[in-house]
Amino acid sequence: MLILYVGIFIYLLILIIIGFISNRYINDEVDFLLAGRKLKVFYLIFTLAATHFGGGFITGSIEYSIIYGVKGGIWYGLSCGIGLILLSFLSTKLRKLCLFTAPEYLEQRYKSKFIKIYATITSLIALIGILAAQIIATSKLLAIFHIDPLIGSSIATIIFIVYTYFGGMWAVTITDAFQLSISLAFIIILTYIAYDNTIIFESHKHIENISSMKIAGIIFPTIMYTLIGQDFYQRLFSAKDAKTARNASLVSGILLCSVTIFPVIIGLSLTKYGNNLTVAFAGFFKETSSVVGAIFIITMLAAIMSTADSVLSAASSHIVKDLFGEFKNVKFNPLKLSKLCVLIVGAFALILSFFLPTIIDALVFSYTIYTATIFFPLVLGFFWKGGDKNAAIFSMIVATIVVLIGYFYNPTNVPLEIFGGLVSLFFYILLSIMKL
C-alpha cells in the first residue's frame, strides 16, 4: 500500500505544481478560459482527446466488454473518436468565429437571447452532472483499494479545482497532456498484464447479447454530444488558428479510435474473474502486486481528472460569458469571476456527489435534453442559411417535451437523444421551409 500512496501523492503534487506555474500566463479571462487562443496542435490534440478519455472511456468499455464482449465494449470509444473526426469538419468555421461558447454562436446565428439562455442552462446542468459523476467514479475506484472514498475523492476533487483555479485553461491543457500520456502508457501496460489469450478466446461463451438499438444508443448520442458540447467547443476556440483546430480534432479522433481496443482486451481478460465489474476488478487485483494497483489507480485518476477539469472549465465559461455576460450594466472583473466560478462549480459538484448520488442519472439525463434539442439547430445552422429562429425555438421546446415524456414512457425503446433529435429535426426543417 505504501507504493500506492507514494505514487498517488507524487502524481497529485505534479498537478498542483503545473497549476501554479500556469498562473504566470494568466492576465485576463481570455487567458484563463481559452489559454489566450494560443494553443498549438500538440497540446490541442491532447486536451481534446483527454476530454473524452475519462473514466467512462476506460471503465465503461471494460465493463461492457465483460458483459457484452467486443460488440459491447468497442462502440463507446469508437464513437468518441468518430465524433472528434466529424468535429474537424466544423472546427474551421468555429475557430474563425472567435467566440467563447456554443450558446454565443446560437445567439449570433438566430439573433435570439432565449435560444442562448436555454442552451446555456441545459448545457450547464449537464456539465455539472457529468462532473459529479466523475467524482463518484473516483470514490468507487478508491474504494476497491480500501481507501476511504469520501476522503480520497475529496482530495482528488480539491486538486483539480486548485490547479484549474490558478492556471485556468493553460493548466487544464498542460495537465491534460501529462495525464493522457500517463493514461495511455499505463493502459497499454495493464493490457499486457491482464492479457490472457485463452480467456479472450473463450470469453464469447459467457457474454450476453447486445441489441442493435442499445448499440445505436451508444453511438449516436456520443457523436451528437461531441459535435455540440461546450467542453469541446472551448478547446477549439482556444486554438491559435482554424487550421490548428481542424488538424487537432482530426488527429485526436484517430488517436481515440486507435486506443479503443485496449480497455476491450482488459475487459475480455477479466471475464475469468466474473461477469461483474467490481468482482472482476477485485479478483484481478487480488492476484497482482501493489505496483500494478498503483499503476491502475493513477491510470484511472489521470483519465477521470482529465475529463473533470475539462468539464469544470467549460461550465465556468458558461457562467461568465453566457449568464453574467447578459448583465451589461453590472461591472465585474471577468478574470476574478472566472476563478470564482471554478470554485463554486467544483464545490457544488463535490457536495452533490456526497449527498445526492442517486440523482446523478437524472442530472446526466439533461445531457439527453441538451443533445436532442440543440443538435440540429446548431449543426444545421452552420450549413443552412434558411434555418429560422422561430423554427429553432419551437423545435427545441417540442423536443424537450418529447424527451421528458419519453423518460417516463418510451414503448419503442428508441434512445431519447435519437427520437427527440428527429422530432427537433422535423419541426426545424418544416417550420423553416414554411417561413421561406
CA 40, 41, 46, 47 torsion: positive or negative? Answer: positive
Least reliable range by pLDDT among 5-14, 172-181, 235-244, 272-281: 272-281
Determine the residue type at 78: L
> In this model, does residue 349 exceed pLDDT 80?
yes
Euclidean distance between the first and the last CA atom of the chain, given in angstroms as a whole number: 68
Q: Pick left, alpha or beta for residue 88 (phi over 0 → left; psi -120 to 50 → alpha; otherwise beta).
A: alpha
Determine what percent of the chain is predicted with pLDDT higher than 90: 48
Determine what percent of the chain is predicted with pLDDT higher than 70: 93
* Averaged pLDDT for residues 311-331: 83
> In this model, does residue 282 exceed pLDDT 50?
yes
Least reliable range by pLDDT among 13-17, 99-103, 192-196, 324-328: 324-328
CB of 256 within 8 A of CB of 81? yes
Least reliable range by pLDDT among 176-185, 235-244, 268-277, 369-378: 268-277
Task: Give me the pLDDT at residue 330, please.
Answer: 66
Give the separation between CA 105 and CA 335, rounded to whole angstroms. Answer: 22
Task: Give me the pLDDT at residue 319, please.
Answer: 92
Considering only CA atoms, which of 306, 352, 24 is closest in space to residue 160? Answer: 306
Domains and CATH numbers, the chain: 2-367 (1.20.1730.10)
- The grid coordinates listed for 128 are 455539472
For 382-417, write each residue's pLDDT tens digit: 989 999 999 999 999 999 999 989 888 876 778 888
For 183-220, write each residue's pLDDT tens digit: 999 899 989 888 876 666 665 556 778 888 888 888 99
Band of residue 365 on the pLDDT scale cut at 50, 70, 90 = low
Mapped to the 3 state alphabet, what secondary structure does the chain carry? CHHHHHHHHHHHHHHHHHHHHHHHHCCCHHHHHHHHHCECHHHHHHHHHHHHCCHHHHHHHHHHHHHHCHHHHHHHHHHHHHHHHHHHHHHHHHHHHCCCCHHHHHHHHHCCHHHHHHHHHHHHHHHHHHHHHHHHHHHHHHHHCCCCHHHHHHHHHHHHHHHHHHHHHHHHHHHHHHHHHHHHHHHHHHHHHHCCHHHHHHHHHCCCCCCHHHHHHHHHHHHHHHHHCHHHHHHHHHECCHHHHHHHHHHHHHHHHHHCHHHHHHHHHHHHHCCCHHHHHHHHHHCCCHHHHHHHHHHHHHHHHHHHHHHHHHHHHHHHHHHHHHCCCCCCCHHHHHHHHHHHHHHHHHHHHHHCHHHHHHHHHHHHHHHHHHHHHHHHHHHCCCCCHHHHHHHHHHHHHHHHHHHHCCCCCCCHHHHHHHHHHHHHHHHHHHHC
Between 88 and 286, residue with greater pLDDT:
88
Task: Give me the pLDDT at residue 350, please.
Answer: 87
Question: Cβ atoms within 10 A of the Cβ of 205, count?
Answer: 8
- The grid coordinates listed for 241 are 488558428
* Averaged pLDDT for residues 285-290: 77
> In this model, does residue 320 exceed pLDDT 70?
yes
Task: Give me the pLDDT at residue 206, please.
Answer: 62
- CA-to-CA dists, residue 73 to 42, 207, 261, 321, angstroms: 28, 11, 9, 38
Average confidence score pLDDT of the chain:
87
Considering only CA atoms, which of 201, 218, 189, 210 is closest in space to residue 268? Answer: 201
Band of residue 436 on the pLDDT scale cut at 50, 70, 90 = low
> In this model, does residue 332 exceed pLDDT 80?
no
Task: Give me the pLDDT at residue 359, please.
Answer: 44
For 112-139, write each residue's pLDDT tens digit: 999 999 999 999 988 988 888 888 878 7
